[in-house]
Amino acid sequence: MPVLCPHCTVVVSESSKMHVVPHARSRRDFDSSLQQITLPGSVKDVQTSGSGSRFAALNWSGTVTTWKTVQSAPVEIKMSAFGGRRALQIALGENHMLIMTIDGALFTRDDYSRCIAMRRLHPTNHVNARACFITAGRRHSFAVFECDGEQRNSMWFAGTGVESGLGGATDIQYDNLTRIDAFGSCNIMAIDSSEHTVVVMQNGSMYSWGENSMGQLGVGDAEIRKRPTMVKGVMSTHHVVSVSCGSQHTIALDNHRNVFTSGRGNSGALGRGNSRHTNVFKRVNVPPAKQVSANGTRSAAVGAIGKHNGRLFVWGGIPHSRKAGIRQNPIAFTPAILPIEARVGLYANSLPYEHRLAFTMGTHSRIGAYSPICSLSQDILESIFDMCFSNGPRVPLRSQGCKNQRGGANFDI
C-alpha cells in the first residue's frame, strides 16, 4: 500500500524495494525526484504516523526498522523486543507503535524510537486470543482478535477519544484492551483509523464512527458518531474489501476495483475535480485499483489492470508549510499518474487477511482454523484457478464452495 504523508509519498515496488517521492512546489517537479531508500532485507510494508513524523518498515524476514525523517538513519528493532517472534504487521500512532507477530501476539510501546522491550497486550479474559490485524490512530489503537470458543472475531480498543466506538465522554482513557460489541455475527475483515474509524465486514458492508464534521463517515450527515454506524446509501450495493482514512476524508475499494470517497474535498482530496465536501460515498473516476490509501488531504490508488497495473494514481493537496515555503498547491483535483518508474507491489495491507489467505476446491472443503476467506474479484479468482488447473481439467468456478472455519460463512463465486 502506498504511504502518504505531508512530506513525501512512500511506495514499495514489486521488487520489494522502498522508494520515496519528496513533495515539491509543483507537479512537474516530481519527474526526477524518485529516491530509493536502502533498508536491511526486502521490504514488505511501510507505515507512517498521521503527521508523517515517524516511519516504520516491515520486511519479509519479520524484522522492523523505524526512522523519523527520510534523511535520518533507520534503527532496527530487534526481535527480542517482541518476544523473539517474527513481526507480521505494524501500525503507528503519533507517539506509539503496535507490532503483531506471526503467531498472533500483540506488542506495544509508547516510545518506538528506542530499541527496548515492548509490552504485550491481551484482550481482557482472553489470554490465548490471536490477533488478526491491527491499526492505530493518533492517540488510540484497534486490534481484531480470534478468541477461543467464539465463532467470529472481535474488535478491541485501547487509548482515548471519541474514536473508541464505546460511547461516553471523549476524554475517557482505556489503558487495557476493551471490547467493542457492535457488529453482529459477521467477521471483521479490514479496518483503518485516523480521527475517525471505518470497518469492513466479511459480507462487504461498512461501519464508521468518530469525528464527522466534514462527512468523512459517509453516513449522510455531519454529526459525530460515538458508536459504530452502518454506512448505507450507494455503499450498501457494493462489496467493500478495503478502506483508508485521511484526516477528514475516507477512501474505499470494492471487490470490482471501484474507488469511492467521502468527506472533506479541500484541495481535491475526493478526486472529483473540485473542492466540494460530501457526506456520502461517491465513485472516483480512476482506473480499476487494487490498493487505496489516504492521509491528510491526499489520496492514492494503485492500478490493477493492463498498462495501469502497479501504477500509482494520486490526487489531493500538499498541506501548508511556512517553514518549507510551500503553498497549498494540489497535486491534482482528479487522479493523475505519479511519474515514477517503479511499479507498486501488492503487499501486506492490500487485501484483508492476506497473511492467512487460502483457497480450496470441493463443495465440502474447509479451511484451517487460522485461514479465513476474504472476497476477491472474479478476475483475480479466474487467474488463481487458471494456475491451479493449468495441467489438468478446468472445473467451473460456480461449483467451488468456500467455507470460513471462523464463523461458517459459505459463499459461491
How many alpha carbons fall within 13 Å on the CB side of residue 278? Answer: 20
pLDDT in tens, the chain (413 residues): 566 655 566 766 666 666 666 554 444 444 434 555 667 677 888 887 766 678 888 888 899 988 876 667 788 888 888 989 999 999 988 888 999 999 999 999 876 545 567 889 989 888 889 999 899 988 889 999 999 878 889 999 998 877 788 876 667 888 889 999 888 888 999 999 988 999 999 999 999 999 999 999 999 999 999 999 999 988 999 999 999 999 899 999 999 999 999 999 988 999 999 999 999 999 999 999 999 988 888 899 999 999 999 888 989 875 443 333 334 445 678 998 876 655 665 333 333 333 233 333 333 333 333 333 344 444 554 554 444 444 433 333 333 333 333 333 333 33
Note whether 52 and 172 are same-domain residues.
yes
Q: Are residues 344 and 376 in the same domain?
A: no
Question: Are 261 and 399 members of one domain?
Answer: no
Query: CA-CA distance, 413 to 400, in Å (whole number)?
Result: 7
Quick check: pTM over 0.85?
Answer: no
Residue 158: domain span: 3-348
Q: For residues 266 and 371, state if they share a domain.
A: no
368 in Cβ contact with 333 (< 8 Å) = no
Give me the residues paired with residue 77 across strands: 64
Tell me the backbone φ, ψ of residue 348, rounded to 5 degrees.
-45, -50
**175 and 64 in a common domain:** yes
**For residues 137 and 159, is the Cβ–Cβ distance under 8 A?**
yes
CA distances 320 to 24, 267, 315, 317, 324, Å, are: 12, 11, 16, 9, 9
Q: How many CB atoms lie within 10 A of CB 392?
A: 7
Cα–Cα separations (whole angstroms), residue 335 to 266, 272, 412: 15, 8, 34
Q: Identify residue 102 by its one-letter amino acid code.
A: I
**Residue closest to 140 by CA, chosen among 162, 125, 155, 121:** 162
SS3 content of the chain, % helix, strand, coil (to 5): 10, 40, 50
Per-residue pLDDT at 27: 43
Contacts of 295 (CB under 8 A, 6+ apart): 3, 4, 5, 6, 48, 50, 52, 244, 246, 247
Q: How many Å apart are CA 287 and CA 159, to the nearest integer? A: 38
337 and 374 housed in the same domain? no
Of 316, 348, 380, the last residue of a domain is 348
343 and 243 in one domain? yes
Check residue 366 and give its pLDDT.
33
Q: Determine the pLDDT at residue 331.
A: 61
Q: Which of 329, 348, 367 is at the close of a domain?
A: 348
**267 and 343, same domain (yes or no):** yes
* pLDDT for position 322: 39
Indicate if 326 and 394 belong to the same structural domain.
no
pLDDT score, position 319: 44
| Res 218: pLDDT | 97
Query: Within 13 Å of residue 169, how many CA atoms lie on the same side as its CB?
Result: 4
My answer on whether 101 and 122 are in the same domain is yes
- Write the CB contacts of 131 (distance below 8 Å, at least 6 apart in sequence): 100, 104, 105, 106, 143, 144, 145
Query: The domain that contains 59 carries what CATH number?
Result: 2.130.10.30
Inter-residue contact 14 to 304 (CB < 8 Å): no
DSSP 269-333: TTSSSS---EEEEEE-----EEEEEEETTEEEEEE-SGGGTTPEEEEEEPPPBTTTTB---EEEE
* Confidence at residue 59, expressed as pLDDT on a 0 to 100 scale: 86
Which grid coordinates are listed for 127? 489470554
Give the per-residue pLDDT at 341.
Answer: 55
- Structurally, the chain folds into a number of domains equal to 2
28 with 11, same domain: the answer is yes
pLDDT of the residue at 205: 95
381 and 252 in a common domain: no
H/E stretch holding 380 reads: helix 378-388
**Is the CB of residue 70 less than 8 Å from the CB of residue 7?**
yes
3-class SS of residue 78: coil
| Residue where one domain finishes, among candidates 293, 318, 348 | 348
Contacts of 314 (CB under 8 A, 6+ apart): 4, 9, 298, 299, 300, 331, 332, 335, 336, 338
259 close to 287: Cβ distance less than 8 angstroms: no
The residue assigned the cell 517503479 is 342
